[in-house]
Structure 1
């Protein structure tokens, strides 16, 4: 018995770096609501908000939609994300568990590898994409004085995509490594970056939207242009909005576990899904209708040196906070997934390796070549990942089975979680890429609801219910 205890202590010491990768966050390690609020403002500021708004306005070859349908697509999509993120956050705040630990109760100790592996891939793709976004803006500013092209997307059949210059390649590589360094430092470093730059981020975005409206000739002229758009249904618009942030919604678990109260969870989620991201959606929409371009930084670069410097600095620092969170959370998925397979890896080691890999992918034009397909697939397939966790914590388990003593006593596989997710993911794919839902309903959210209900229905006919009953009875 003493040997076992020494082994457990050794394991805990190996993984412990203050970020609680394989254990719940204790109450005395929780962070202030103000600092977490700033993290969520910075986390919510990603170029995807502008891109999505632009897509709703017809940017990138989409059909687009008039302003009021776009308005409701943003409100309903972000509202759904807010509710989903908040409920996941409540589960994380009450238990102190990250996604890896919560998933054990609905997917099993080995089955949790499924959501963790998927989230590892998604956050890697996001890190690479955001690094590419930063490189693109710096390239727009400094140009291509070297005259060297590193990658030409046209050679891969991607006509119309700008070549990747040496300057863009280097900017992406340099900032990818900077983002990796701060992610290695953990949550405290993320908070410091967010606290300094988050207020400025919001101010610049709002001013840009106002300028776009003015340049368009005012609200009346803007509405006239927006009314010319048609073709995209509101359901498809909602799926695009949800897809832009579903990975972030699920990632929220790993940050909400540091919150001191449930009220802080709802407040921090609002910072992202009610404040920051909807503003960016609307600014992106206004930008495309008014100027044909969603990225206001390009306008700032063309409007003089001072505005160019301000735009590039704000853009870089804003995406810094987002990319920090992507990489930070990636380690919290990859590490426990490897641990479940019998491999040990420290969080900092994972951050460094994944950060370097993501930087390489970003510099190699992942954003330019694959981002659009990446977003659409996310919106359809990823939402059901959260359904088993929500159904188990709030309906089936009702929190009583989430005792920390049960963390390492979960069955290898919980079939209710695995089956309900797979069915939901297939449904999401079919209704996004094969056929459409009646009344233009959003495929991703429909798939999440199906997975949620299915989990509840099949839970009691699987061994999961019996195992939980035994565990809870032992704790009485």
Structure 2
């Protein structure tokens, strides 16, 4: 009886999910996106451009300028974003050509079962990002307006789940609203702050209290690690593009354009104001700057902007997490978005966003090898390969080598970039291991 009831419930849930897909559109969690379902260049571009053009990117720009001084921070921003375009662009083209999401591509490279480790890790990290950004929303609103942190966090999380539930169309529309808001308000904040100083003083700003404590290697890691997880699963977005040029243009709109604009807004503001011991995650950010004007209409606009802007990045992260886990557990993206979203809200209420920098360090060690291995496999060693085995030891061996070297670099050679070291070493290791295995005599 119990088994029959469970089967009946599962069937009813399946019917509801099919009806929802019929209304909102199929998300193709378990199969390639067919040409007939591909979206326009504008749509895919709005999905991507609305992802990194966020207040958290501006905060990161502030951190870089505080730690490196404006001149060196600008170099790190430009170089880091150029690397991200090459990395994300190449992975995105794979998704575009095959129509497959990250989990399906990872099945080819890591194995029909092995992909679960790579996809599960990235999906969980992205769920963590959803929690971090949701927590930042609640914390900024609570500290600025004196509202209850937990309540504001729950409201934010529920709104972001709703956007994600709509699917890729929801990401398109939140980006369409968020990007113009950020451009207008971000340029106003940067321009207004710059008017209190001079461009010469901004460019020559030496860092927090005149001390540059961050090396170029760490700076590059911070820039890259900010979106390395979402950049690695870029196929989840770029599989919707109609052709390769559309895929690359959409990627370019994010890296370097949107990400660089966001970082520069925070960097220019921080260098212009030169506040001693500034706290970008407190009040020393564009949200705090707008509220410091003590204009009611501007504070209301800042409140709406925060929820909309961070709603864009949160819904993107939750979409990636739900897409990955739906493939692993054999379910639907929308159902997983609700389940994972609720988990993320619970985690956000525990102030997990406070571990932001530590989170970036973790990403710089574990994530870059995954994308590097996929690129070498699909562009160099096994073009057009299909998933034929459950586990591919060469991929996991290279992943381990890249991450171990990255950890050593972070601990002993801080002048180097952890993220770049991890990717380069993993790519070389995978190539080498694959050649060794290929030369081994085959047994029958």
- TM tier relative to shorter chain: 0.7 to 0.9
Give the counterpart of 1:332 among 323, 330, 337: 323
Give the counterpart of 2:345 among 354, 359, 375: 359
Unmatched runs of 5 consecutive residues or more in structure 2: 1-10
Q: Residue 466 and residue 194 in structure 1: after superposition, are their counterparts in 2 closer, same or farther (change >3 A)?
A: farther
Give the counterpart of 2:28 among 12, 20, 26: 20
The structural deviation recorded for 1:26 is: 0.4
The structural deviation recorded for 1:441 is: 2.5
Matches within 5 A, 1:50-449: 50-58=58-66, 64-144=67-147, 167-215=148-196, 217-226=197-206, 228-289=210-271, 290=273, 291=275, 292=278, 294=280, 295-303=285-293, 304-338=295-329, 344-368=330-354, 370-398=355-383, 400-401=384-385, 406-407=386-387, 410-432=388-410, 434-436=411-413, 440-449=415-424
Contact 2:70 / 2:205 at 8 angstroms: preserved in 1?
A: no
SS at match of 1:297: helix
SS at match of 2:28: coil
- Provide the rounded CA distance (Å) in 2 between the counterparts of 1:396 and 1:30: 28
The structural deviation recorded for 1:430 is: 1.7
- Provide the rounded CA distance (Å) in 2 between the counterparts of 1:127 and 1:271: 22
Contact 2:230 / 2:320 at 8 angstroms: preserved in 1?
A: no
- Provide the rounded CA distance (Å) in 2 between the counterparts of 1:258 and 1:28: 10
The structural deviation recorded for 1:466 is: 11
Unmatched runs of 5 consecutive residues or more in structure 1: 1-9, 59-63, 145-166, 339-343, 468-476
Contact 1:183 / 1:189 at 8 angstroms: preserved in 2?
A: yes
The structural deviation recorded for 1:205 is: 1.1
1:474 corresponds to which residue? Answer: none
The structural deviation recorded for 1:108 is: 0.4
Q: Residue 19 and residue 75 in structure 1: after superposition, are their counterparts in 2 closer, same or farther (change >3 A)?
A: same
2:4 corresponds to which residue? Answer: none
SS at match of 2:195: helix
- Provide the rounded CA distance (Å) in 1 between the counterparts of 2:367 and 2:195: 39
- Provide the rounded CA distance (Å) in 2 between the counterparts of 1:25 and 1:271: 22
1:473 corresponds to which residue? Answer: none
- Provide the rounded CA distance (Å) in 2 between the counterparts of 1:253 and 1:346: 18
Contact 1:138 / 1:312 at 8 angstroms: preserved in 2?
A: yes
Matches within 5 A, 1:456-475: 456-462=431-437
SS at match of 2:227: helix
SS at match of 1:57: helix
Contact 2:55 / 2:286 at 8 angstroms: preserved in 1?
A: no
- Provide the rounded CA distance (Å) in 1 between the counterparts of 2:78 and 2:84: 10
Deviations for 1:40-72, whole angstroms, at most 9, x for unmatched residues? 1211123331222122123xxxxx122221111
- Provide the rounded CA distance (Å) in 1 between the counterparts of 2:301 and 2:332: 38
TM-score normalised by structure 2 residue count? 0.88
Q: Residue 49 and residue 336 in structure 1: after superposition, are their counterparts in 2 closer, same or farther (change >3 A)?
A: same
- Provide the rounded CA distance (Å) in 2 between the counterparts of 1:200 and 1:122: 28
SS at match of 2:50: helix
1:470 corresponds to which residue? Answer: none
1:148 corresponds to which residue? Answer: none
- Provide the rounded CA distance (Å) in 2 between the counterparts of 1:354 and 1:324: 12
The structural deviation recorded for 1:464 is: 12
- Provide the rounded CA distance (Å) in 1 between the counterparts of 2:182 and 2:56: 15
Matches within 5 A, 1:33-48: 33-48=41-56
Contact 1:57 / 1:229 at 8 angstroms: preserved in 2?
A: no
TM-score normalised by structure 1 residue count? 0.82
1:29 corresponds to which residue? Answer: 37
The structural deviation recorded for 1:141 is: 3.6
- Provide the rounded CA distance (Å) in 2 between the counterparts of 1:76 and 1:225: 20
